[in-house]
A = this chain, B = another copy of it.
Amino acid sequence: MENPQGLEQAIKLVSDTYSPLTENTKADFKQAAELFTLEKSTILIREGEHVSKTYFIVKGAARAFYLKDGKDITDWFAFENEFITSIDGFFQGTPSSYFIELLEPTTFLEISMQNINKLCNKHHDFDRLGRMITTRIMLQLRSRIVSIQFESAQQKYESLLKIRPYITQRVPLTHIASYLGITLETLSRIRNPKNRI
């Protein structure tokens, strides 16, 4: 609760981006959430932990990653106006298989599942907001599957650049490579114009 003004603005952002909330709901939302600013590389969630919170990025960036045979695999990026959490832990109540890490100094809104449930029960429009958020994520996941499934490494990279043109300026290539399901070496070759036919 570093800055109540900022929190109000963050809530307005959520409401404007996903689904409008009444002033009444926003007021309760404000009581239920907190705003933080933390430095780059901060780990918000660790593998194996119980996950009770989700994060909405106001300014900055974060990623979700997991370890597969010791290798760091990025599964999700979140930038301004997007949510991030350990999706399995948060929604299924199971221990997190993900880490959530800040990629930049980041200001974010934090809210617990418990408070979300309270708000959902009290306010129809907050439940609606939840539906809109999950719907949007569902659609993002779907198009990612289509992309992964039948695109070459090159095409996958280009598809990502279309959705997130700025990503290479903000995120190390290693994370982009593992997100795309290709190796760092392959990504490097793709990006090198000398290797074009």
Which residues from chain A sit less than 8 Å from chain B, CB to CB?
68, 73, 75, 87-88, 91-92, 120, 124, 127-128, 130-131, 134-135, 137-139, 141-146, 148-150, 181
Contact = CB atoms under 8 A, between A and B. Distances in A.
A144 B75 CA distance: 12
The prevalent SS among residues of A at the interface is helix
Contacts of A120: 128, 131
Contacts of A88: 139, 142-143
Contact of A75 (B73, B139, B146): B146
Contacts of A135: 91, 134
A91 B139 contact: yes
A100 to B, nearest CB: 14
A141 B145 contact: yes
Given A124-B127, A138-B141, 18 more contacts: A73-B149, A75-B145, A87-B138, A87-B142, A88-B139, A91-B138, A92-B139, A124-B124, A127-B128, A127-B131, A131-B131, A134-B134, A138-B138, A141-B141, A145-B145, A148-B148, A148-B181, A150-B181
Contact of A149 (B91, B146, B150, B181): B181
A133 to B, nearest CB: 9
A139 B73 contact: no
A148 B145 contact: yes
A92 B91 CA distance: 24
A137 B139 contact: no
Nearest to A122: B124
A143 B145 CA distance: 11
A124 B91 CA distance: 20
Q: Which of A91, A92, A145 has the most CB of B within 10 A?
A: A145
A189 B54 CA distance: 43
Given A127-B127, A131-B131, A134-B131, A87 B139 contact: yes
